[in-house]
Structure 1
Amino acid sequence: MPSLPPSLTRTTRSAWTTRLTRPSRPSRPTTRRLLSVFGALLAALLCALSFGASSASAHAALTETDPADGAVVKAAPSQVRLTFSEGVLLSGDSVRVLDPKGNRVDTGKPAHVGGKSSTAGVALHAGLPDGTFTVAWKVVSEDSHPVAGAFTFSIGAPSKTKAKVPSAAGPDETVETLYDIGRYVAYGGFTVLVGGCVFAGLCRSSRPVQKLTVGGWVALFSATLLLLLLRGPYTDGKGIGGVFDLGGLSDVLSTKAGAALLSRLMLLGAAALFLAVLFGSYARRAADEDQGRRQDLAFGLAFGGTVVSVGIAATWAMAEHASVGIQSTVAMPVDVVHLLAVGVWLGGLAALVATLRAGEPIGRTAVHRFSRLAFGSVVVLVLTGLYQSWRQVGSWDALTGTEYGRWLLVKVGLVAVLVAIASVSRRWTGRLTDEEAKASGDEAEEEKEEEEAKDTEEAAAADPVRTAQLARQKAAVSKAAALRKRHGDLTRGSLYRSVLAETVVAVVLLAVATVLSTTQPGRAASAVASAKPGGAAVDTTPAVDPISVEIPYNTGPKSGRGKAIFMLDPALPGDNLIHVFTFDLADRPVDAEEAKVTLTLPKENIGPLTVPLEHVATGHWSAKSFQLPMGGTWRLALTVRTSDIDQVTETRTLKIGQ
């Protein structure tokens, strides 16, 4: 054994001797490497979250508009109507209609059409001029997320427009970032608060657990207050300055999300009283001889804590995904149970880590009790998670084909990793020995050493230098004792590292859960995509009839006489489908050597534009995609060639988009 400095007191020498003669503990670099690996995992996933969540704020999707997007109507409509995939909340500025000069032509406040919460309609002024009109809309979906966008329609014919509509729909970037951070901190605070309370009440109450639990309460309260202040700017698309708009705060409190946040703050006031009793009267009566009074207090704490925890969890369930969609009356209580199970498991892990890290004595019975509690929470999580996944995803295709489904797969993978690490922790838990007697012996030895140290300190009180030296030595001994308690035993040290790994993965898991809460559910996304071909968010059915023109032709010989049918669908600026049919005088399909079509817009000096016709059947030519740059009075030139030398060109005038 190495020699000890003679200046050390007997107490210090005893501590160092004990430390040097104990079996070597597992090396701390292993723990640091473990933290480095999971730290890198956390950083990578958080980076992925920052990119993946950029377009995830829109939950209610626009499925149909009347007039349709890009439609050209002959007469001015009396109102504009929008239909969404789920219910939306409207404000006085939710739907704005702008004429070609950029002036508003809507009248009155937007309202739900026919009492359906998934619709929004606004009346228009009478006598609107011809031209292109712009509809800018901004609503809040029933699960509390803002949605915005714009589309156009034309009266009579398309025209140039001066209407200015923001190209990016959604909240201010700074506000959105702060709001997302608030969501994450709120989830984390709730988890630590619930788990810490359960761990303190059923397993082990200590100073580290108390600090952790109170920290969870502070985090949840602060994040909820931040979310309440940011709610107005977040839904209105205003900058961070909107936080100071008290009038906007009043409007927020009248919404479902605002009422939920306010209710959460009030419930946290009750939770503060609960914490005061749990870590005050209940903790002081831990060794109370009157077990009856302690059991009564324990029952009251259990009942009151359950009520408050359920109430806080319900503020999420009643304002977000669970409150919208199919089986919402079942989904909300299931969501509450799911959140509570998350808190008991993951928050309890954090409390166990804090206990082991501080070197607090914790017996095998308490650890086994938490292990059983965590296992039960995992079972509840799996059952409620399966139901939530079915409800929010709906199909195997949506599981891989939607953003929500892909993030859900990431979450499932993290839960699997977490369960695998938890199984390792359970094995180390099974190897624990009950150290309560050992802890009592250690405490007696520490008391003896403290008495000896007290005598030494009294002797050195007159010497300030000696007093400072003793203080430094005492701090070193305390630190060494804490490290010895934490790592001195192989089983306890291994348990600490495995539980710490669980906690780190749980932090990442909460980040993924936060992203899922801001992502459109797969069932809703699939419904929107299947409602319109190609996943269009609006109804693009033309509001005018396709053009069909019959053109007789005669190339000279008797066999060169017949008629052609020219069809243009939908006869609007943009993408069009063109058909040319040729018939003989008996209305039988007949082939020609060649058919050509060109279109010219003389007024704008556009053309002639050659239509790339493809022969598809006897007497039938087609162009599946032909782009017309604009509406107007176009000149059609149809050329039919029936032999090497016999052909004729016929012209017609077409009014397209008018």
Structure 2
Amino acid sequence: MNARLTPLIPRRAASPGGPRRLAALAACLGALLALLLGVAAPADAHAALIRTDPADGSVVQSAPSSVLLTFSEGVLLSADSLRVLDPQGKDVAAGKPQHAASGKDTGSTATVPLRTGLGDGTYTVAWKAISQDSHPVAGAFTFSVGAPSKTSVDLSGVSAVGGGAAATLYGIGRYVAYAGFALLVGSSVFLSVCWPRGALLRSMQRLAAGGWAALVAATIALLMLRGPYANGTGLGDAVDLDVIRQVLETRPGAALVSRLLLLAAAAVFLAVLFGSYAKREDPEERADLAWGLGIGGTVVAIGIAATWAMAEHASVGIQHQIAMPVDIVHLLSMAVWLGGLITLLTALYSRSTAGTVEAYAVRRFSLIALTAVTLLIGTGTYQAWRQMGSWAAFFDTHYGKLLFTKICLVCALVGVAWFSRRWTRELGVAPVARTEAVAVGSSAASGSVAVKGSSGTASGSGTGTGSGPGTGPDADPARAAQLRRQQNARDTATAKKLRDADPARGRLRRSVLTEALVAVVLLTITTMLTGSQPGRAAEEQKDLKPAPSATSTGGGTGTGDTSAPARVSLSIPYDTGGPNGKGTAGLTVSPARPGANEIQLFLTTPSGAPVDAPEVHVQFTLPAQKIGPIDVTLQHLTKGHWSAAGVQLPLAGTWQVSVTVRTSDIDEVTQTRNMQVTQ
């Protein structure tokens, strides 16, 4: 410890309720994570459908020879990716789905040939695919040949991908994987670079091993859940060997397997770090081993980070050759900072004097954390530009709002880190006058002791080697052992008082704890971002224009019925739970028939006055035919009024309408109602 210490400040004895408070804190963090994952909007499609041929809702004079879909990024196709059903529900595709044979970016297309001699009527196209960034997408649309007609199709064989229990568990697994990676890398850097002595401590070893085990378990779970998540099937497919074999043949599956192999190498790294390196005493041998650990650990960490970069957002879109290495640096910077914070927090709250982290280790980590934060901000700025495309996407897309929240959290985290650096500089530094007070207290604590024996009171030096009874050559061994235990207890108590007397250490504990709490929420937002459609793709999807109303009434009766169109009106009360969070959503769907529909949405307060909300989202799902969710792009017209035109509802049936209203950054609710779409 530094010789210049603060005075001995009387402190209340540690309460046995400390572990209970930490357990309560962990429970609160778990509840917060569950809340954030629970209120998160459903994962948006990453590959946006930007164009179809024939156009959605159009009427063509002659039957097309094929159907062509164009996406905003590359997609992976399977044998059932495209189904084209005639008005009687018969599949009229003449081959297997494939990418277009020519043209630019053929990997972002999907086409299937159609049989010859198709008759007039309304045809339904149900599609599903895997985005190049590993997320499943699906949907449906209609077109008509000659004139619209009634249609009755059965899409029960088309799975609703990316939803259900598999999607929830998959999202939790991805969060645990990120957290395990941060803990594994951050603790390894902290213990090998900043505080090598800490590698001998069991608590530090458990921390790093826990991160490794969490990442291994999450990776195996993701590998098993990948099939049900992508195909929209039940959890039973998680143990189906054929499904797992198919997953292994995809890029996400290969990335997960590569991660498991790299984690085997990481296990060897941890064994050497906590074994030979931590126990090695020869300086030259220790230095040589440190070089080997540094090179090997860096290669393994980069490889694990690359398993995310090669299969998610960074691997697609513009400048992906640059984005992938930038994403690797971003992930490593996040892991070093957040994982190192948890490790430092554990060391600062350790009750063992052996686990007391030295001031030099804290200052060294502070410098490393500053470098990591600088890289994190730089790489994050590039990623934000690449994924957003425009300033408007920050407020018009779900991804943009999440990214804005993440930026605010990073700013808050940097602000708290500034205070941490301040307390780090003051750690162990105090006026000399106060040092003397501590020295006096320490001297008094190590003075003579009195031990009551069978013949009276014996005095000793406190070390068991004094000249009093019980300390000489003929002293009772049991009494000498008792004296040693007493002296060890006094030495431990004195060391704890010296440690806790430094006010900067207490302030550093609180600031690092605050950083860690914000980091947990930040990691949750990051996980939600990786499951959301990038703002640039969402903006591209808005450019998909619906067919004009004169031709997009396909799906009408086709019987010459000229009666006034039907209309469905729903009144949906909502309560987000926050201030001014109560109101009513009035939804109107017209004409509520298969084909193009117009959506009107009104939000009002309990008194009936119109009210705006930061975010309003509408989705349509047809559970009986496993179609959807179909997202609706709403346009804000006036206060409390949104609308959308050309919303395609391809089939008649009982549709579920989900209306999401967000009144603040954390107050959000989704209400679901049923509505009938009739022929």
Q: TM-score, normalised by structure 2?
A: 0.69
Partner of 1:50: 38
Q: Amino acid of the residue matched to residue 321 of structure 2? A: T
Identify which of 314, 321, 336 aligns with 1:329.
Answer: 321
Deviations 1:392-420 (A, max 9, x none): 11211111211111111111111111111
1:476-555 pair list within 5 angstroms: 487=500, 489-529=502-542, 531-533=543-545, 540=547
The aligned residue for residue 314 of structure 1 is 306
> Is the CA contact (8 Å cut-off) linking 2:122 and 2:144 kept in structure 1?
yes
| CA displacement at 1:608 relative to structure 2 | 9.0
How far apart, CA to CA, are the structure 1 residues paired with 2:34 and 2:356? 35
1:255 Cα deviation after fit: 1.1
**Aligned-partner Cα distance in 1 for 2:592–2:424:** 74
Do the aligned partners of 1:574 and 1:628 also contact (CA within 8 Å) in 2? no
Conserved 8 A contact 2:88-2:151:
yes
SS in 1 for 2:386: helix
8 Å contact from structure 2 (residues 98, 112) kept in 1? yes
- 1:68 pairs with one of 55, 59, 80: 55
Q: Partner of 2:115 in structure 1?
A: 125
Return the offset for 1:311.
0.4
Q: 1:125 aligns to what SS in structure 2?
A: coil
- Alignment match of 2:80 (pick from 88, 93, 101): 93
> What are the within-5 Å matches in structure 2 for residues 371-520 of structure 1?
371-433=366-428, 459=478, 487=500, 489-520=502-533
Preserved CA contact (<8 Å) 2:160 2:231: no
CA drift of 1:128 comes to: 2.6
Q: Deviations over 1:140-191 (max 9, x none)?
A: 0000000001112222332322213369943341100110000000000000
Query: How far, CA to CA, are the matches of 2:232 and 2:558 in structure 1?
Result: 45
SS of the aligned residue for 1:540 comes to coil
C-alpha contact 1:71 1:154 (8 A) present in aligned 2:
yes
CA separation in 1, counterparts of 2:520 and 2:397? 24
Q: How far has the Cα of 1:195 moved from its partner?
A: 0.5
Structure 2: which amino acid aligns with 1:53?
A
Structure-to-structure mapping, 1:178-193, within 5 angstroms: 178-193=169-184
**Paired residue secondary structure (2:148):** coil
**Residue segments in structure 2 that go unaligned for 5+ positions in a row:** 1-7, 447-460, 566-589, 596-679
Which of the two has higher C-alpha Rg?
1
**How far apart in 1 are the matches of 2:487 and 2:301?**
42
Give distance in 2, aligned partners of 1:629 and 1:505.
48
**Which structure is higher in helix share?**
1
- CA distance in 2 between partners of 1:449 and 1:69 (Å): 90
What CA distance in whole angstroms lies between the structure 1 residues aligned with 2:323 and 2:100?
A: 27
Q: Matched residues in 2 for 1:457 and 1:403: separation?
A: 77
Rounded Cα–Cα distance in structure 1 between residues aligned with 2:252 and 2:335 = 22
- Letter matched to residue 116 of structure 2: A
Q: 1:102 to 1:37 in 2, by over 3 A?
A: same
C-alpha separation between the residues in 1 aligned to 2:26 and 2:118?
Answer: 63
Report if aligned partners of 1:210, 1:279 keep a CA contact under 8 Å in 2: yes
Distance 1:61 1:291, change over 3 A: same
For residue 27 of structure 1, report the CA deviation from its aligned partner.
8.9
Q: What secondary structure is seen at the aligned counterpart in 2 of 1:120?
A: strand
> Does the 8 A contact of 1:171 with 1:238 survive in 2?
no
Cα distance in 1 for partners of 2:330, 2:167 equals: 26
Give the partner amino acid of 2:126. A
**Residues 628 and 183 from structure 1, CA distance in 2 versus in 1: closer, same or farther, beyond 3 angstroms?**
closer
**How far 1:45 moved relative to its partner?**
6.7
Change (3 A) 1:131 1:294: same
Stretch deviating more after TM superposition (38-47 or 396-405): 38-47
Contact 1:573 1:628 in 2 (8 A): no
Q: Deviations over 1:441-463 (max 9, x none)?
A: 99x98xx98989x9999849xxx
Counterpart-to-counterpart distance in 2, 1:226 and 1:602? 50
Give the distance between the partners of 1:605 and 1:381, measured in 2 at CA.
62
Whether the aligned pair in 1 keeps the contact of 2:50 and 2:540 (CA below 8 Å) is no
Contact residue 322 and residue 332 of structure 1 kept, 8 A:
yes
For 1:299, the aligned partner's letter is W
Q: Which residue in 1 is equivalent to 2:349? A: 357
Q: Which amino acid aligns with 1:409?
A: F
SS of 2:107's equivalent in the other structure is: coil
Letter in structure 1 aligned against 2:38: S
- Give the Cα–Cα distance (whole angstroms) in 1 for the partners of residues 237 and 492 of structure 2: 49
Alignment of 1:497-646 (within 5 A): 497-529=510-542, 531-533=543-545, 540=547, 569-570=550-551, 572=553, 606-607=562-563
Question: Once the 2 structures are TM-superposed, how far is the Cα of residue 108 of structure 1 from its aligned partner?
Answer: 2.0
State the distance in 2 between where 1:362 and 1:571 align: 70
**Paired residues of 1:130 and 1:157 also in contact (CA < 8 A):** yes
Matches of 1:57 and 1:571, distance apart in 2 = 26
Does structure 1 residue 366 correspond to structure 2 residue 373? no
Task: Note if contact 2:59-2:552 (Cα within 8 Å) is conserved in structure 1.
Answer: no
How far did residue 486 of structure 1 move?
A: 6.9
Is 1:142 paired with 2:126?
A: no
CA contact (8 A) 2:127 2:139 kept: yes
Counterpart code for 1:193: L
Give the secondary-structure state (helix, strand or coil) at the position aligned to 1:433.
coil
* Separation in structure 2 between the aligned mates of residue 602 and residue 390 of structure 1, nearest angstrom: 48
> 2: CA distance between counterparts of 1:458 and 1:229?
62
Residue pair 1:183, 1:223 contacting (<8 A) in 2 also = yes
- Could you report, residue by residue, the CA deviation over 1:576-632 in whole angstroms, capped at 9, with x for unpaired residues? xxxxxxxxxxxxxxxxxxxxxxxxx997675599xxxxxxxxxxxxxxxx979899x
Please tell me whether the aligned partners of residues 151 and 555 of structure 2 are also in contact (alpha carbons under 8 angstroms): no
Change (3 A) 1:246 1:353: same
Q: CA RMSD in A?
A: 4.1
Tell me which residue corresponds to 1:23: 10
2:647 aligns to what? Answer: none
Q: Is the 8 A contact 2:148 2:555 kept in 1?
A: no
Instruction: Point out which structure has higher relative CO (alpha carbons under 8 A, 6+ apart).
Output: 2
Q: Is the 8 A contact 2:428 2:502 kept in 1?
A: no
- Give the distance between the partners of 2:301 and 2:564, measured in 1 at CA: 73
Percent identical pairs in the alignment equals: 51
The answer to whether the 8 A contact 2:44-2:531 is kept is yes
What's the secondary structure of 1:276's corresponding residue? Answer: helix
Deviation at 1:571, TM superposition (A): 8.4
Deviation at 1:199, TM superposition (A): 0.4
2:292 aligns to what? 300
- Which ranges of structure 1 fall in alignment gaps of 5 or more residues? 1-20, 461-465, 534-538, 543-568, 576-600, 610-625, 632-658
2:150 corresponds to which residue? Answer: 160
Q: Shift of the alpha carbon at 1:58?
A: 1.0
The TM-score, its normalising length taken from structure 1, stands at 0.71
Q: Whole-Å Cα distance in 2 between the matches of residues 420 and 143 of structure 1?
A: 33
Provide the secondary structure at the position in 2 that maps to 1:144: coil
Q: Secondary structure of the residue that 2:407 maps to in structure 1?
A: helix
Offset from partner CA, 1:299-324 (integer Å, 9 cap, x none):
11000010000000000111101111
Mapped to 2, the partners of 1:143 and 1:231 lie a distance apart of: 13
